[in-house]
Chain A
Amino acid sequence: MSGSRPWGKIILFSSIALFVISWLIKAGVLSSTGGVTDISVRDAFFVTLAAFLTLAILSFLYKDNPYYKFAEHLFVGVSAAYWMCVGFWSTFVGNFIPRVSSTLSGFFGVPFKEFNVFYLIPLILGVMLLMRLSSKTGWIARWPLAFIVGTTAGLNLIRYLRSDFVNQVSNTFVPLLVEWKGIGPFFSGFSLSASGQFTLSLTNWVIFVGTFCGLVYFFFSKEHKGFYGGASRLGIWVLMVTFGASFGYTVMGRVSLLVGRLTFLFQDWLGLIS
């Protein structure tokens, strides 16, 4: 908003004017289609607000500008408070209060369950965390941190081992010669169709070799030379092919999101399409 002050002001005033006009027209349209005027005015305000914020974010594509900054800062403030409120009501009031105090439960209007001394521990740990605000007592905050990190490290250790390790390893247990009943039957049933024995076997081979080379690529303590070098190079090739394919595949989903946003602008706000 520095260099071209007059232009900036003109744009600002015209966008405020446009906002008001849009609000009024929208309110008129909504109430004419049979709504209570009060609610129409409110709904029209919110639709217009949503539309202008959408445009403000899209303006980021041109360059960083005051409208984007406005939307961004508003977004940050509102979202931080949103999480705090949700966390307070659902976790603190919903889970914690009914276990520690009947008076507070009454105050917040949640049914008191029964006093449970174990629920005082997170309270203490939480207060310890708040000690961080003072530089003298800050080190106490490490206790709750250590509790969280320790608990979840144990949890994650098992989770990684089970779902990423054992399950994936057992998934590699596929026959390299599908439905093997000897050489004769294998070749007599030879076909190149997608569900044929030969194609399925070939697929399993490709998956095995791909996984093998990929794992070799992740060897850290071996120099990638000779056999390791070849295998790890093949491994990174497979990775790259995969990344390209995933990238290309995701385009569809992202375009759908934009379609949804533009449909909101054209349909819900401007009413250009039905």
Chain B
Amino acid sequence: MKRQIPLAFVFAFAVIMIIQYFVPSDLSMNVNEFLLKWIYIIGIFALALGIWSLIRVSYMKIRLKKPDWGYSIITLAGLFSMFIFGFDYGRHFFSSEGLKNYMFLGFFDNILIPIQATMFALLAFFIASAAYRAFRARSILATLLLLSAMIVMLRFNPYLGPIGEYMEKTASWLLNVPNLAAKRAIIIGVGLGGVATALKVMLGIERAYLGKD
């Protein structure tokens, strides 16, 4: 009962979605639309579960005075202030509705966006340190990796003269020809593995996600 019904669910809905793909009628379109919308709506409940987990972990940290517990207060403060701004519905604190709330947008533009962009920009540093650490001619594979990366990066050297042009051509060949071949091999493999895994899920062979008992 605890496992059979979910497994039957998985099989039934997977089969419905597969059949749906081959049936173009209105009914089939509606089924597709409904099922996908349902997932979004369930997602909201799941998000509530997630927020609950976040609050609980933070609260436990504060209550047990674990290391760095003070920062958990900041998490909760950020969370609840954003909630208050975001759920403010025109009748409480500010004049505009939730998502257009001035502070909500202000937090989004000036806390989320800059931190997000800066985290992303850290990649410029990390890509350099990773290159330094890993691009060493340890083995044939590592050497190939190193050489092709160097050739592509040499595009940005203005002092190479005629060699630069040759490098540029080699780089564009690398990005065009072997790149296409390798990506195609990976994608075909991923496609097959994906289909196989989806089938295993459907047939209930792969069911770690359902837990036990």
Contact = CB atoms under 8 A, between A and B. Distances in A.
Interface of A: 42, 46-47, 49-51, 53-54, 57-58, 60-61, 69-92, 95-96, 108-109, 118-119, 121-123, 125-127, 129-130, 132-133, 139, 142-158, 160-161, 163-165, 168-169, 171-172, 203, 206-215, 217-218, 235-252, 254-255, 257-258, 260-261, 264
A30 B178 CA distance: 54
Closest 3 CB pairs of A and B: A214-B185, A210-B181, A164-B191
B194 A122 contact: no
B37 to A, nearest CB: 6
Interface in B5-23: 5-7, 9-18, 20-21
Contacts of B158: none
Given A153-B202, A245-B171, A81 B78 contact: yes
A244 B147 CA distance: 7
Interface residues of B, number: 121
A79 B51 CA distance: 11
Interface of B: 2-3, 5-7, 9-18, 20-21, 34-52, 54, 68, 71-72, 74-83, 86-87, 89, 97-99, 104, 106-115, 117-125, 127, 131, 140-141, 144-153, 156, 171, 174-192, 194-195, 198-199, 201-202, 209-211, 213
Contact of B122 (A58, A69, A207): A58
A157 B144 contact: no
A133 B35 CA distance: 25
A209 B194 CA distance: 24
A155 B17 contact: yes
Contact of A54 (B114, B149, B202): B114
